[in-house]
Structures are given as C-alpha cells and as structure tokens.
Chains A and B, each alone.
Chain A
C-alpha cells in the first residue's frame, strides 16, 4: 500500500471507512513519520501509547458514522488536554497537566479522533515565526532554513510534513492563516464565537479563535464541522444551529461578488504578491465571480490597533501565571512580591514580557484614553468598513501575507518587522470575521504563497465554497522533498 500519510484527510477517512486501512496502521504510520522528523521540532509532547491504545479500541469497535473515524490528530499545545501536559510553548507552564479537556478538542474526540501529540507554538501564541517557544523554534518542511510561520508553526509544519492528517490552531492576529500560507496549506480562522474558547490558554480574549489547518478545503470543512459548536461555558460563544460544511460544499460560485480592497496593496510589497493576487482574481473571474473594487479605509490603522488591544488583554490574561497555584514557581524568593517577580521573570520569554509591558502601559491611568480607548474606537471603524462593504460583496480577496516564509533568525531582533507580517490578517480578527487562507502559488524561490478570502460573520460555508472552487482551478502543488530524513 502506498504511503497513506501523503493523502488528505478526506481520502484517509474514506480508506478507513472502506476498511482499506486500520486505525492502528494509520497511527503507526504517523508515529513513524513523527519519529523521523524530530529535526523539525514540531512536537512538544507525544502521546503515542495512548494513541495506539485508542486506535486498537477503534479497530475493535469501529464507528464509521463519525466524521473523524479512528483518525489520530496532533493539536497545537495551546489546547488544554486532560492528563496531557499543556505548555502554551512557555516555561511557566512546562510542568502543567490539565485535569480537563478543551471544548474544541473534546468535540474532535467525540467525532472519533484521538490525540497523537501536542504541537509546538510561539509562547502563549505570541509570535509570527514560532521562534518565541520555550521549546525551541520549529522548522518549515519547505526548507531547512525557513520559519513555518506562527504562532501555530508546529501545526503548519507538522501538517505539511505529513506528521498529522489535519490539525487545529488558534488565530489571534493571523496565527492560523500566516503559517498556512508559509507552508502551502489551508487555514481557516472562523467567525469569533463559532468555536468555543473554553480550555484554550488565552492570549487576547476578544480576538482568539480556534480553527482548522488542513491540506485541502474539503478537509477544512470536515474539521470545522467537527470542532465548532455552541458552548454554554464560553459567554462569547454563538448559539446557532450546527452546520454541515463538508456535505454542503459546492464549487459553483457563478455570480458571487468578490471585493478587492485597494488598501491591501501596501508599500514595498514584493511584486510576486501582487502577481499572486492578480492570478487569484483571474481564477475567480473565470469561475463566473464578479470582481468589485472596494475600499476599507481604516485598514492602515489595523496593525497599531491590534498591537494595543491584544497586548492589553494579554497583560491581564497572563496575570494568573504567578507561581501560586500551578505551573513554574521560582524557588529563590524570600517573599510574595519577590516570588511573583522571579517566577514571571524566569517563566516568561522576551516576546511575552514585551507584550505584557505594552499591555500594562496602554491600560495605565493617564494612557488608557489615548491608547486603549482610542484603539477600541478604531476597532469599531474597521469593523464598520467591512460591514459597509458586505452589503455589496459576498467575500473579499486579499493576499494572506506580505511575503513568503522568511529565514530563521531573520526578524527576531526586529519586532516591528515581525509584527508587519500580520498586516493582512489582523483586520479580520479585529472585526471578528471568518477568513480562509488558501495556497495559491509560489515565489521565485519556490516558497508557497497564500491568498485570503474574508467572509461575512458566520458565512464560513460561502468562503469554503469559493475556496473549494478556487482550489480545483489553481493547480497548486506543495513541493516538499523530506530533507529531514
């Protein structure tokens, strides 16, 4: 039998259902891949014994009605997993074993999947290159010098390297879409509130959203179907009927109106990105979609707004890591304040500290109005830009990132240039919208590039449909030569 791990999720599920392969064989194949790919540094924790046990249980009593029957999955290490260490890529949680399961992962297990391991990520999801992790940087399977994007870099890398058939990440400012773009894979940030945040280590509560990362749009629909759903334990969860995204996937997009925002053509953007965007427009046009030039005038304020709102929330969300109840505690302290200072100094990395400082600053009395309050107002304007245009268009097409994957270490000393990576992705988080990143081409070095489809709130089905049609007509093929073997 050919290597099943080369296939996409849908094919693997079909093979399981047709009993062409057992869950155990599948799991063993992934374990073998993972063991051979240690150089990529994608896994923080593996749960092979537990996975093999689950696979055997599935094979003995298979339930083929489930959407993910007997499928092993690795997930970002930001999702709390019961009795399995959950680190958020941080030293401060490097010994933390939750007694509970996040709602999103529980939904996956309830759909028939089981855990293969926990994937590396930027510390507390703060980063765009997976270089801020306490557990070391992750390498992009596209090239041994390249970052996989971030913060869900372990997820994108593991997926592209066939170490998991699909995976999930979280996206606060582009943490699913940017790594997907850097690794030639599909990533979806759902509408804020579609997937429960319960049990996900929080970064910025008003922006965080879990989503699928997959090889194809169909896989993305399958995963979204499994992981999403109302959760009364999350007050910001949206109470709506479950949708069957994969069953309802259609490739007829004739007559749909696609907005092309002029503000996404930024200064110094490589020509290749522009060309990619043109290519995307052409494909959609050929499929019968109507292209409409639109304006999102407040786009230029999105990045600064994001870098006020997200650190502000993070500075408060991360206050709980104080060494008192769980996680890392510095041993060399003489009193309470000392313990806080030492624990947090030793427990957090530089990028996390930087954002806690920024967040604390913008919330301080005397600065609150000038920064946080103003940012909230601008956020409303950004959202309004989208609202205004969604009366005219069905979806918006933009590049996912302003460049392809960059070199490891290239931007670590220049936080601002690192932050600029998120320029096309953050407006979506600020507006709470769904957005899909699709592999669409390569740059002159052969590194993948992605396009982003932004949808109306809860209009995931439509952007998945457009992506589905696009994918069929784009003929993108990821070239990975398994250099790590």
Chain B
C-alpha cells in the first residue's frame, strides 16, 4: 500500500483519465435534542417514541432553533479551518414524502452557517489538501420501512428533525483511497470535537458521491453524476470504481455523460440511474418564515474557538516534535481520539518512544485479535505505562515483558504485582550473577577449556545456561559483561 506516487488513473484504449470526486457528507450532530424540537435523539428507541408535535408537523407547530446544534456546527466549522458566517438563513426545501412530515425540510441554501475551509490528508505520496465548499445545518427525515408488510409502508419518525451537518467538499478528491482518507479524517476531526460520533452503521455518517472523469491534461471538468446516500467507505469506493469505468467507457464510445442522480446497488456492485436532470425535483427553496435569520455573535465564536480541543494535525506535529515519534507513528496514534488519549496517558507516565512502539505492536495486535477497541481494552493506560516503565528501567526484559503482558490481558492485573508475585524480576545484581556464572563454569570445566582454546562459539552456550538457571531473568547485558570477565580470568 505504501505507494510513493499517486497513480489512480483509468487507462483505456483512447487515453488516460483522471477521476474527479466531490463528497457531500451528511453527519448527524451529537446533541441531546433535535434541531428544532426538544425530542431525544438517542439511537435505537422504539419506533415513533421520540417524536414531538413539531417533528410530526401538527397544525400550528413552530420550529425553535436548538442552540446546542448551532454550537456543534460552528465547532465543526472551526475544526475544518473554515469561515464561520455570522449571518445565515434557514430555508425550506419543499418536496412530498411520507417520512417528511412538514412537506419540506428545513435546510440552509444560499446562506450556510459555515463557508470555505480545508482538510489535510496524509497520503503515502505526501500530504494533500481537500477544500471544503461549505457546511450547512438541516433536518434529517424520518425512515420509511418498506419490508415489514407486503401492502403498507411503515414510517418511523424518531429520526425526523435530528440535526444534520451537510459538509460539501470541493471536487479535489482523485481516488477511492483519498475518499477513504477524507472520510476518516472528517470523522476523526468530528470525534475529537465531539460533534458527530461518525457511526456509519447507525447512519450518523453518510455521503452522496459526485463523480466525473476527464482526460489527463484537460482543464474543464467533465459532467458529473451524483451517487446518493452511500453509507460505508467500502461501498463509496466500489461505487466510484464502477462509476468512473462506466463514464470512461461512455466517453470512449463517443457518447455523452448525462448529469443525473444514481443509486449504488451493493448486491450487484453497480450504479443505476435514479433520475435524470430533467426529472430533478424543483425544491422551491425559500427562507423559512417561521425562523429569523441566524446571527452569531463574535464572542460566541471566540469562546468556542478557545474551547476547542487539540485537533489531530496539531497533535501529530506535537507527537513528532516533542515526543520524538516518527511521522508514521504519530499518524497512527492520532487517528482516533480515544487512541491518542490512551497514548498520551501512557506517555505521561513512561518512555514516550517505547510506549508508542509497544502500543502499535503488542497492544494493537491483541485488541485486533480480540475484536476490541481501545476504549474497552483489558489493559488500562496506567498499567500499560507501568509495564513500559518496567522495561525501560531494566526491571524486566523485553521477553519477560511479553509474558507479563499476556497475564495482564488475562487478569487485568497491575504489572508490578504480576512481576512481584511470579518472581519475574530481572536478575541485575552483578554479585548474584557472578555467583551463578561461577557455578556454571565450574560445572562445565571442559567447555571452559575449549572456549579458552579458541572455540569462541561456546559463548552462546554459557549465556543459554545462565538464562536456563535464572529462569530467563538474568539481565542479558550484564550477563554478557560478567561472563566475558570471568572467562578471561
């Protein structure tokens, strides 16, 4: 995977194409209540149990903006290095659907709350910037359930009215790999900020994917197709690969690409036309007269700016500069907020470099094997730090440390306690070692003579004997020194 050079192109008989991708990510805002009502937003409740009169659009009901959602959007905007608009407007997007109770979605059309920003991706071929066009707030729709009854469609309005942030990228993305990196980066930033949990299985993060292709060297963008509502990175990547090939084939055959909305069929692994440009809805956007334009005070924005946590790009820099980690290590350790939190706790109490090596090695391997993630690791950060310190101080060897680690996983115990109770401490007293080694040399007089006669290979044999006798606890470095000294004498 570690490609040095970007090389995602589609080569056909007629030429070499690049793939132009833009994403519209829909991220559910983490908030206790919905964008315009007091209903709970918790996932997994019984159908229609979190629905207020506003969410179900009863006559005379009016939306009232939830300040928490506004703050979350501003924070996200700040996290995307974006311009926060002090003045924004909520518009109505009008269309009929059974899970859209109002007959319109309250969204932001001409004046979004967040303007242009950017996200930096770490690609194997270097860092890459993706521009953010805008971020706006809107209501989520309810859910139509078509497969519960052969005749009827059921509607669950629990999701109706939950706040969504639509984050629109510029068409700066060029490959499925970059899509992966972009989505993960967005998700990481939002998780750091606590503005979206990024849970794609629960639908808190979904995306519409815009794809077009153009011959290398062409300046003009090709006609794009929008693939609606793809809810996993893997599917996004598959959809893009299919769609780009489809478009190249059309162009190669001298055909035009129609601007249209397409669906990705995950079973057949293909995109299908949903509606053409001519059939596109006329949403009749207009400013929602039930809501005043949203004006943000500079102070509120400043306060939020001050309250922002350290974001992954900054943290990565710090890990490299202050902790002496490699860019690769730093990248891995900042990729998830929980991982970086765990690492920082460990690093505070132990050797920073050694902690990184052990975390990315044994700890991640163990979590991976067990299907766990860092937040439910059987080893606490504090215990892990103690283990690292025991290695660093020479109290135990690396080999013993692996044993201690295993026991920690099984028991959740403190490493000091394990080392103590199992007598696993490294033998580092030179006098004790001398005594032990003398014993071994006496017992193996013949081998000593052979060694002295020039068979230096036997040194390894003596080391092995020392380890055997000490139960592996002899400090290897010290063993070497003492052995050499005594064999000379």
A interface with B by C-beta (< 8 Å): 80, 86, 88, 93, 96, 98-100, 102, 197-202, 204-206, 232-236, 312-313, 315-316, 318-320, 322, 324-326, 336, 340, 360, 363-365, 368, 372
Segment 40-96 of B: residues with Cβ below 8 Å from A: 53, 56-65, 92, 94, 96
Interface centre among B60, B63, B65, B282 (most CB of A within 10 A): B60
CA distance A234 to B96 in the complex (A): 25
Q: Known: A98-B58, A204-B289, A205-B289. Is A336-B284 also a contact (CB below 8 A)? A: no
Indicate if the CB atoms of B65 and A235 lie closer than 8 Å.
yes
B94 with A232: CB separation less than 8 A: no
Task: Specify which chain B residues have a CB less than 8 angstroms from the CB of A233 in the assembled complex.
Answer: 62, 64
Considering the complex, which residues of chain B in the window 86-111 have a beta carbon less than 8 Å from any beta carbon of chain A? 92, 94, 96, 98, 101-104
Contacts of B103 in A (CB 8 A): 316, 318-320, 322
Rounded to whole angstroms, the CA-CA distance of A340 and B103 in the bound complex is: 11
**How many chain-B residues does the 8 Å CB contact rule pick out?**
30
Known A205-B290, A320-B57, A324-B155: A234·B62 in contact at CB below 8 Å: yes
Q: Contact at B290–A325, with CB atoms within 8 Å?
A: no
Cα of A353 to Cα of B65 in the assembled complex, Å: 31
Q: What's the Cα separation between A201 and B92 when bound, in Å?
A: 18
Q: Per-residue 0/1 for B123-156: is the Cβ within 8 Å of any A Cβ (1 yes, 0 no)?
A: 0000000000000000000000000000001010
Say how far A159's CB is from chain B's closest CB, in angstroms.
Answer: 23
- B94-A363 in contact (CB<8A): yes
- Min CB distance B147 to A, Å, is 16
Among A80, A204, A324, A363, contact of B101 (Cβ-Cβ < 8 Å): A324
The reply to whether B53 and A100 contact each other, CB–CB distance below 8 Å, is yes
Give the distance in Å from the alpha carbon of A299 to the alpha carbon of B405 in the complex.
84
Cβ–Cβ contact A363 & B102, under 8 A: no
B286 within 8 A of A: yes
- Check if B59 sits within 8 Å of A324, measured CB to CB: no
Contact across chains for A235 and B59 when beta carbons are under 8 A apart: no
Inter-subunit contact B286/A201 (CB<8 Å): no
Cβ of B291 < 8 Å from any Cβ of A? yes
Given contacts A235-B62, A236-B289, A322-B103, 15 further A-B contacts (CB under 8 A): A80-B59, A98-B60, A100-B53, A100-B58, A199-B61, A205-B289, A234-B64, A235-B65, A236-B292, A316-B286, A320-B102, A325-B101, A340-B96, A365-B284, A368-B286
**Shortest Cβ distance from residue B71 to the other chain A in the assembled complex, whole angstroms:** 17
Contact check, A88 vs B290: say whether CB atoms are below 8 A apart: no
Q: Which residues of B contact A363 (CB under 8 A)?
A: 94, 284-286
Q: Is the CB of B289 within 8 A of A313?
A: yes
- Give the Cβ gap from B107 to chain A, nearest Cβ, in Å: 13
Interface string of B261-300 (1 = CB under 8 A from A): 0000000000000000000001011101111100000000
Per-residue CB contact flags for chain B residues 427-458 toward chain A (1 = under 8 Å, else 0) read 00000000000000000000000000000000
Question: Can you name 13 A-B residue pairings with CB atoms under 8 Å?
Answer: A80-B60, A99-B53, A198-B61, A199-B60, A205-B290, A233-B62, A234-B62, A235-B64, A312-B286, A315-B284, A319-B103, A320-B103, A325-B56
Q: Which of B56, B59, B284 has the most CB of A within 10 A?
A: B59
From A200, A232, A340, A368, give the contact of B60 (CB < 8 A): A200
Q: Which residues from A are CB-within-8-Å of B290?
A: 202, 205, 235-236
List chain B residues, Cβ under 8 A from A98: 58-60
A-chain residues with CB within 8 Å of residue B286 when the two chains form the complex: 312, 316, 363, 368, 372
A94 CA to B284 CA in the complex, in Å? 29
- Find chain B residues with CB under 8 A from A365 CB: 282, 284
**Bound complex: CA A205 to CA B103 (Å):** 15
Closest Cβ–Cβ distance, residue B159 to chain A (whole Å): 15
Q: Which of A100, A316, A336 has the most CB of B within 10 A?
A: A316
* A325 nearest in chain B by CB position: B56
Least CB distance from B438 to A in Å reads 88
Given contacts A319-B96, A324-B98, A360-B284, contact A197 B153 (CB under 8 A): no
A197 with B60: in contact, given A316-B103, A319-B96, A324-B155 (CB under 8 Å)?
Answer: yes
Interface positions of B (Cβ within 8 A of A): 53, 56-65, 92, 94, 96, 98, 101-104, 153, 155, 282, 284-286, 288-292
- B59: which A residues are within 8 A, CB to CB? 80, 86, 88, 93, 96, 98, 201-202, 320
- Could you tell me the distance between the alpha carbons of A69 and B103 in the complex, rounded to whole angstroms? 41
* Shortest beta-carbon contacts, A-B, top 3: A319-B103, A205-B289, A206-B289
- Nearest Cβ on chain B to A313's Cβ, whole angstroms: 5
A319–B289 CB distance below 8 A: no
Q: Which residues of chain A are within 8 angstroms of B153 by Cβ–Cβ distance?
A: 336
What's the least CB distance linking B49 to chain A, in Å? 15
Contact B102 A202 (CB under 8 A): no
Interface centre among A198, A363, A368 (most CB of B within 10 A): A363
Q: How far is the CA of A236 from the CA of B288 in the complex (A)?
A: 11
Shortest C-beta distance, A330 to chain B (Å), equals: 15
State which of B58, B98, B104, B288 has its C-beta within 8 Å of the C-beta of A319.
B104
Inside 8 A of B65's CB, which chain A residues have their CB? 235
CB < 8 Å: which of A198, A235, A324, A336 contacts B292?
A: A235
- C-alpha spacing A326/B53, complex, angstroms: 12
Do A198 and B98 touch across chains, with their CB atoms under 8 A apart?
Answer: no
A300 CB → nearest B CB, Å: 24
Complex-state Cα separation, A364 to B282, whole angstroms: 7
Q: Are A235 and B291 in contact (CB under 8 A)?
A: yes
Q: What are the residues of chain A within 8 A of B291 when measuring CB–CB?
A: 235-236
Name the residue on A nearest B102 (C-beta).
A320
In the bound assembly, the distance between CA atoms of A233 and B62 in angstroms comes to: 7
Residues of B within 8 A of A199 (CB): 60-61
Q: Which residues of B contact A316 (CB under 8 A)?
A: 92, 94, 103-104, 284, 286
The smallest beta-carbon distance between B287 and chain A, in angstroms, is 8
CA distance A368 to B284 in the complex (A): 8
For A376, the closest partner residue in chain B by CB is B287
Which one of B62, B63, B96, B285 has the highest number of Cβ atoms from chain A below 10 Å of its Cβ?
Answer: B62
CB atoms of A197 and B282 under 8 A apart: no
